[in-house]
Amino acid sequence: MNVPSHIAIIMDGNGRWAKEKGMVRLKGHQAGMEVLHDIVECCSDLGVSYLTVYAFSTENWKRPAEEVSGIFKLLVRYVAKELKELQEKNVQIRLLGNIEPLPSDAKKSVLKAVGDTAENTGLVFNIAINYGGRAEIVRAAKELAKQAAEGTLDPDSIDEALFASQMYTADMPDPDLIIRTGGELRLSNFLTWQSAYSEIYVTDTYWPDFTPDRLKEAIEAYNGRDRRYGGIKS
């Protein structure tokens, strides 16, 4: 089995999972945080180089305040519970997105997770928090425009590689495989720049029911894909 170097996951379906069980939505988010443990471990064991998960989008602020604050509390809890084991597994945590507007305890705990794992050399585990693909592109354009205005960048030298170097994922390969749980056939502002040639795999399984076996099924499906990049089958 050819294991993708970079897997990205849209962890969707927590609310519907909870609703079907007669529980409040936050219980779904809680169950979702718990399955993340097994998926990170599985990616690390399989030798995946990069795992990116969509934890909170720039659009998710539209949700009721108590759901939003509940999600950030769960994030604090996740870091407190998992950091030691992630260290032991040599996982390096990185953040995609603007964490400035996060509640201070959530900001503190994710920054600690990044700082404490910075020297690790195993799986790179990107957590996308307050992340939006369009916001990321605008941020990159702004930075390049500033450099051009200051005279340190020749606008004619802007190419795809330079643009990519301004993304949160600057030194990483684009995702080979994007998995979406919960059945929706859309990307919801996830990795807009980086997903240009990603293989997309959607499963109806809700995120809290997603297991390492389901992940392996996704990787198997990926293995059956013919990645042509605009060329023809060789």
Which active-site residues does the annotation give?
Answer: 12, 60
Say whether residue 11 binds ligand IPE (CB under 6 A).
yes
Say whether residue 126 binds ligand IPE (CB under 6 A).
no
Say whether residue 72 binds ligand IPE (CB under 6 A).
no
Write phi, then psi, for 170 (nearest 5 degrees): -35, -50
Among 56, 125, 168, 222, binds ligand IPE (CB under 6 A): 56
With respect to Mg ion, which residue has the nearer C-beta, 50 or 207?
Answer: 207
| H runs (alpha helix) in 22-124 | 25-46, 65-88, 104-117
Span interacting with ligand IPE, options 13-21, 109-117, 132-140, 141-149, rule CB under 6 A: 13-21
Say whether residue 78 binds ligand IPE (CB under 6 A).
no
Residue type, 76: V
Q: Three-state secondary structure along 89-112?
A: CCCEEEEECCCCCCCHHHHHHHHH
Choose the contact partner of 198 out of ligand IPE, Mg ion, none; CB within 5 to 8 A by kind: none
- For 176, the token pair is 């080979």
Say whether residue 222 binds ligand IPE (CB under 6 A).
no
Nearest-approach distance from CB 68 to ligand IPE, in angstroms: 9
Q: Which residue(s) pair with 50 in the sheet? A: 6, 124
Sheet bearing 199-202, strands edge to edge: 92-96, 124-131, 50-57, 6-10, 177-180, 199-202
Binding site for ligand IPE (CB under 6 A): 10-16, 54-57, 59-60, 71, 182, 184, 186, 188
